[in-house]
Amino acid sequence: MTKNVNEVLHYPRLDTVLMVEEAIKNAKEYPSKRQLWLSLKKKVMYQTFNIVIDYLVESNKVVIDKEGKVIWIWDPEGVKKYMKEGVIIR
């Protein structure tokens, strides 16, 4: 039996997602995906790392600019403020 090229070998665990989020938020400069991957505290398969990045982009927590830099954009305090003011309704 041959494996499908698009088959996911390993889905990320929550601690992996949180580790990547923390690395992005604490980065001194906006890292490229590769720089970010290499800077992680624990080794993560690149395919798994890409799943995390895709999730963070889809959930509007990060954007990737034209130069390939990963930028944290999520603002939970701003969301709380707008919810309190009635601008955002769950």
Question: Tens of pLDDT along 33-77?
Answer: 999 999 999 999 999 999 999 999 999 999 999 999 999 999 888
**For residue 14, what pLDDT band results from cuts at 50, 70 and 90?**
very high
5 pLDDT more than 70: no
SS3 63: strand
Kindly state whether residue 25 falls inside one of the protein's structural domains: yes
User: Is the distance from CB of 21 to CB of 4 less than 8 angstroms?
Assistant: no
Residue 45 in any domain: the answer is yes
Q: State the pTM of this model.
A: 0.80
Residue 71 maps to a domain? yes
In angstroms, the CA 4 to CA 9 distance is: 10
Q: What is the CATH number of the domain that holds 45?
A: 1.10.10.10
End-to-end CA distance of the chain: 46
Q: Is residue 77 part of a domain?
A: yes
CA distance 45 to 12: 9
Domain assignment present for 20 = yes
Question: Does a structural domain hold residue 18?
Answer: yes
Q: Containing domain of residue 53, as a range?
A: 14-84
Please report whether residue 1 resides in a domain: no
Q: CB neighbours of 10 closer than 8 A, spacing ≥ 6?
A: 45, 47, 48
The tally of domains found in the chain comes to 1
Is 7 a member of any domain? Answer: no
